[in-house]
Amino acid sequence: MENQVLIKKFFYKSEKLAGAALLPLDHIYENWELRWNDAAEEFIEEEDSFSPQINGIIRDCVKLGFPDTKFSSLEEVSKFLNRKLDWPLESDSLAKSTFLRKDAEIFLLTEADLYESVAVLIEFSILTTVYHFDELDEYLTEILGSIISALLYLRDD
């Protein structure tokens, strides 16, 4: 149960999530901003936006929890993502450019692989005392944002 709370709090009232995951998709929905609903503890679901899907992704991440695999360094996480997603991520380059180059291959990925990658990144962040999406460094923000963007492409709701 504690891991589920940590995952939900990781996205709580995030101000950077929209820019990292939704702005690259503004050609689909012009309304890419996210507003928080304190009472519901989720983003306000607005018409013609990805907010319902973002809430769904967060709920799915909470349900799935963290994988059994643990990583102690960013290098290990990058190797995992390279193996799992076939995205050649380097710690000295930004993931966004990698994502944009590989977006044609996005449909070769499975939701399961993407969700596992999100869980690995959240858990690694928490283990390195970064407890919220908005506290991530630029590199991890772009990686996680790119993976969430990919999930949004693949979701059918």
100 pLDDT above the threshold of 90 = no
Domains in the chain, number: 1
pLDDT in the model for residue 156: 57
95 pLDDT above the threshold of 80 = no
Q: Residues 2-19: what's their mean pLDDT?
A: 94
Its domain, for residue 116, covers 2-154
The two most distant CA atoms of the chain are separated, in Å, by 41
pLDDT in the model for residue 71: 84
Per the listing, tokens 């692989």 go with 113
Query: pLDDT tens across 118-141, in order?
Result: 999 999 999 999 999 999 998 889
Q: Residues 39-52: what's their mean pLDDT?
A: 93
Cα angle 157, 132, 128 (rounded to 5 degrees) comes to 120
**Residue 109 · residue 153 · CB < 8 Å:** no
Cα angle 135, 137, 141 (rounded to 5 degrees) comes to 85
Q: Residues 68-92: what's their mean pLDDT?
A: 75
pTM: 0.84
Query: pLDDT tens across 104-119, in order?
Result: 455 567 888 889 989 9
